[in-house]
């Protein structure tokens, strides 16, 4: 909300707003929306996975991913959302790079790469576990 009020306040006095300020404010808004979506995904997916089924089958508002959600899918969805949020934050830092220390940018890139490798590792583990469970299921039937 601070980003939105800052953008609106500066839009009133258009002589002092730069293209970079507009881009940073819009990216800040995108970041807030992605974090809100992540929160909703955690609440709905966690409830569906660990508490009770929501019985939204066939409802027009049912999220596509909710029909096949489990703990592994939820972890992958969360990690990709975190990577998206990190990407937006990193883009904001690159746009504003002139005002940041080089070591700050370096650490942000390193942290982003760690998020990428973590998500990749979780996806590989989830795929391997799914394949192993499918093979065990085939053996027993």
> What are the boundaries of each domain within the chain?
2-140
Does this model's pTM top 0.85? My answer is no
Question: In this model, does residue 7 exceed pLDDT 70?
Answer: no
Rounded to an integer, what distance in angstroms lies between the CA atom of residue 29 and that of residue 31?
Answer: 5
Q: Give me the pLDDT at residue 103, please.
A: 92
Residue 50 has pLDDT above 80, yes or no: no
Neighbouring residues of 37: CB distance < 8 A, sequence distance ≥ 6:
81
């Amino acid at each position: 909300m601070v980003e939105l009020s800052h953008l609106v306040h500066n839009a009133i006095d258009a002589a002092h707003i730069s293209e970079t300020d507009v881009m940073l404010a819009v990216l800040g808004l995108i970041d807030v929306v992605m974090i809100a979506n992540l929160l909703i995904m955690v609440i709905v997916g966690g409830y569906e996975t660990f508490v009770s089924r929501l019985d939204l089958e066939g409802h027009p508002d049912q999220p596509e991913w909710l029909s096949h959600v489990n703990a592994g899918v939820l972890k992958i969805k969360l990690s990709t959302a975190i990577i998206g949020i990190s990407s937006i934050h990193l883009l904001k830092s690159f746009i504003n790079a002139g005002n940041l220390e080089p070591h700050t940018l370096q650490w942000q890139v390193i942290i982003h790469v760690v998020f990428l490798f973590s998500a990749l590792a979780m996806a590989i583990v989830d795929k391997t576990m799914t394949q192993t469970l499918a093979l065990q299921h085939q053996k027993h039937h």
